[in-house]
Amino acid sequence: MKIGGRNPDSLNQLASLLTAAGNRQEAAASLDRINYIYPMDDGTHTKLGALWLDLQNAPGAIREFQAVVGHNPADPAQAHYDLARAYHLNHQDSLAMDELLASLEAAPGFRAAQKLLLELSGGQNETTAAPLKKRE
């Protein structure tokens, strides 16, 4: 990869091996290289987004999951949920809520999205409840 390898399959295999070896930062670099070679691969964007989430790189995860959502994925509920998690990691909870609603619109019974939506709406209700109590 470092001397100019351009085969997406080889780079993907390298990323898998690096991930298995615990070198997630190098694995992310390998997957990122694939994006420059073949940017239309949703699987690569999904894997890289998941790695960025694990590494607490919210802007990177947002970029990758936005690419997946933009490609009309086969599983839109999961794609929107993943993007919501990235927004939540980046403390953009209003955008996370929008993505969770899109996820639940695609799959109303999606438990993980329901759970995160309850978590986010619970936090917002606490902040809006305090001003209401002061008015009484």
* Average pLDDT score over the chain: 88
pLDDT at 122: 87
pTM reported for the whole predicted model:
0.83
Count Cα atoms within 13 angstroms, Cβ side, for 80.
23
pLDDT at 3: 55
DSSP 8-state assignment for residue 76: H
Q: Given a cut of 90, is residue 1 above it in pLDDT?
A: no
Q: Given a cut of 50, is residue 135 above it in pLDDT?
A: no
> Beta-carbon neighbour count of residue 40 at 10 Å?
9
Which domains occur in the chain, in start order?
8-124 (1.25.40.10)
116 closest CA partner among 53, 40, 31: 53
Q: Given a cut of 80, is residue 55 above it in pLDDT?
A: yes
pLDDT at 131: 41
Both tokens of residue 25?
A: 């930062």
pLDDT at 46: 96
**Average pLDDT value for residue range 10-37:** 93
Cα–Cα dist 103/101, whole Å = 5
Q: Which residue has the tokens 């969770």?
A: 100
